[in-house]
Amino acid sequence: MTQESAVLDAPDTVVRDGSNTRKVFIKTYGCQMNVYDSTRMSDALAKDGYEPTEDMEEADLVLLNTCHIREKAAEKVYSALGRLRDMKKRKAADGRAMMIGVTGCVAQAEGEEILRRAPAVDVVIGPQTYHRLPHALRRAKEGQRVVDTEYALEDKFEHLPIAEKGKIRSRGVTAFLTVQEGCDKFCTFCVVPYTRGSEVSRPVQQIVEEAEKLVDGGVREITLLGQNVNAWHGAGPNGQAWSLGDLLYRLAEIPGLARLRYTTSHPRDMDDRLIGAHSDLRKLMPYLHLPVQSGSNRILKAMNRRHTTAEYLALIDKIRSARPDIALSGDFIVGFPGETEEDFADTLKLVEDVRYAQAFSFKYSTRPGTPGAELKDQVPEEIKADRLERLQALLLKQQQEFAEACVGKVIDLLLEKPGRMPGQLIGRSPWLQSVNVDAKASQIGDIINVRITGTSTNSLFADVV
């Protein structure tokens, strides 16, 4: 399945080590998994002697960790590489060498083509092989231009170091942890099976050990990541088959871990054990991102989603019965080939029936190599734009109504970082909303009781109880 839920540029990730003067800048695009990947790449590079910089101008190495979900993603990467080429030439004229690498899903999809179109690039690394990045850079320094996009036979996670406790603490009090990668669903609009490969689950012990190290480093909230995170499965300590629900029960036992989340889920993989975890585990936050993509059964079939609207709605009812206070989020694509006004009306009706606290919606855009790109009856751009505007207006209305319903509630708030105003901190509500509250910087990492007092476009305001 796709991760359209998080396609905005993520914060830049930097490496932190103090062993020499080489510096690296990593620009991260795309989903939460790319953020996690950049962090793990930075850990590997720190062991190889790279220091952090937030200034691209002083970098000895610039990496673009790319996403292939958005339209014309590859062209945007080539545009960025053109600017980096000019920077590399300018630095070379001043006697300063700079290396350029492309990682992530565009790297996987384009491979050798990147080297052909962007001669300034030294290294191209796919998402399954970024544990080999330090070795690729050493080869590049010897004059080779390296492309490594073959799916690795070894487990990349076993080869990736985790930052030392102090450096984990410097990242903040929340962290991503990838537990599952790839997708076997083959939705006709999506490139993920071709860029991330088939579904692979990390072993239980490896996940638990990484989670424990994160908590030892000051992390209070962990979000488990996967293209289809609820397809995760593995063998438990007793040898019995575990599902994501079982894994959540185990992680909830870690002392000091206050909160758990997971994303992104597929409706077909929401089993009773996982739903039961939402009922039983107070550490599991009452928020679920469960993409549906369309409210039309005809379009769902064309998308190869392999569930119906009725099945999705029945699942929502079951989840809400288990956790009545749960907030639901979703993904929607408008203008899929063949979508009629009646199909779109079915999507609006589904949104009305579910009532989302948050959702992400996009116009359909073709992805070369996907079955959807070959379908006839493509919807005109102006119709897609009109439908997207109407859908987003409804989703925004529901988001605002959910936020307004929070006013007056007393909630637990995890304080994460300084706010824009002096004496203000920003935290996350159990429903993943950003909340502004007056508090001391020394309280970052604490969970406090606050009363929601007001709303704005993208956040809430609260007073300490």
Instruction: Reduce the DSSP state of residue 431 to 3 states and report it.
Output: coil
Question: Is residue 60 over pLDDT 90?
Answer: yes
The rounded distance, in Å, linking the Cα atoms of 181 and 232 is 9
Mean pLDDT for the stretch of residues 379-389? 97
Instruction: Reduce the DSSP state of residue 420 to 3 states and report it.
Output: coil
Mean pLDDT for the stretch of residues 356-379? 91
Question: Is residue 242 over pLDDT 50?
Answer: yes
The rounded distance, in Å, linking the Cα atoms of 199 and 182 is 4
Mean of per-residue pLDDT scores for the chain: 91
The rounded distance, in Å, linking the Cα atoms of 48 and 164 is 14
Q: What angle do CA 317, 264, 361 make, to 5 degrees?
A: 80
Q: Which amino acid is at 251?
A: L
Residue range 192-210, pLDDT digits in tens: 898 888 899 999 999 999 9
| Per-residue pLDDT band at 19 (split at 50, 70, 90) | very low
In the prediction, which pLDDT does 71 show? 67
Neighbours of 377 (CB within 10 A): 10
| Per-residue pLDDT band at 460 (split at 50, 70, 90) | very high
- Between 316 and 7, whose confidence is greater? 316
In the prediction, which pLDDT does 16 show? 39
In the prediction, which pLDDT does 7 show? 33
Listed in sequence order, the residues at least 6 apart from 309 whose beta carbon sits closer than 8 Å to its beta carbon are 292, 295, 296, 297, 300, 346, 350
Mean pLDDT for the stretch of residues 11-32? 68
Q: What is the DSSP string of 254-311?
A: STT--EEEEE---GGG--HHHHHHHHH-TTB-SEEE---B-S-HHHHHHTT----HHH
| Per-residue pLDDT band at 20 (split at 50, 70, 90) | low
